[in-house]
Structure 1
Amino acid sequence: MALSYKARRRLALLVLVLGLPGYIVLAVTLVNLFERPSIWVEFGIYVGLGVLWAFPLKAIFKGIGQADPDTPPQDDHTE
């Protein structure tokens, strides 16, 4: 079942406000479980984890910045 544009916008906002900070805490916790690696390895881990969260959620964020495709176009010409 495809989500409506409005539902995708709300879900994207929920992911950004709650999910992303939670994912950041999880990534930092996972890195802290091990002995601190070199700065470049640590940087690579954070960059990899930073990109990894976006792939499963790509369908939710796709087209969110565009106008709602379900609304009819409005004619704003005033004379």
Structure 2
Amino acid sequence: MALSYKARKRVAILVLVVGLPVYVVVAVNLVALFDRPSILVELAIYVGLGIVWILPFKSVFKGIGQADPDEKPEQDK
């Protein structure tokens, strides 16, 4: 099932405004469960978690910055 451009744009905004902050809180609490590792290990964990969260949403974000392909072009008069 392919989402329309407008639906993908709305889902992308929802993911960024609601999902990303929730994911950040979960990631920080997950790392806080263990003793604090060295700064390089902690950085690697956060970079890895930062990459992992976007993988399921790759198709949603692809092409969002482009013009709407379904929109009819306006002709100059």
Normalising by the smaller structure, the TM-score range is over 0.9
Counterparts of 1:38 and 1:67, CA distance in 2: 44
Q: CA deviation at 1:74?
A: 1.1
Structure with the largest fraction of helix: 2
Q: Give the Å deviation of 1:56.
A: 0.9
- The 5 Å alignment of 1:3-22 reads 3-22=3-22
**Structure 1 residue ranges, 4+ long, deviating more than 6 angstroms after superposition:** none
Under a length normalisation based on structure 1, what TM-score does the superposition of the two structures give?
0.93
Which residue of the partner structure matches residue 66 of structure 1? Answer: 66
Query: What is the number of residues matched between the two proteins?
Result: 77
Equivalents in 2 of 1:29, 1:65: separation in Å?
32
| Structure 2 stretches lacking a partner, 5+ long | none
Seq. identity, %: 66
Offset from partner CA, 1:24-62 (integer Å, 9 cap, x none): 001000000000001100000000001111111000000
1:74 is aligned with what amino acid?
Answer: E
Q: Hey, what's the Cα distance between the residues in 1 that align with 2:36 and 2:26? A: 16
| Structure 1: segments with no counterpart, 5+ residues | none
Give the TM-score of the pair, scaled to structure 2.
0.95
Equivalents in 1 of 2:44, 2:20: separation in Å?
18
Pair member with larger Rg: 1
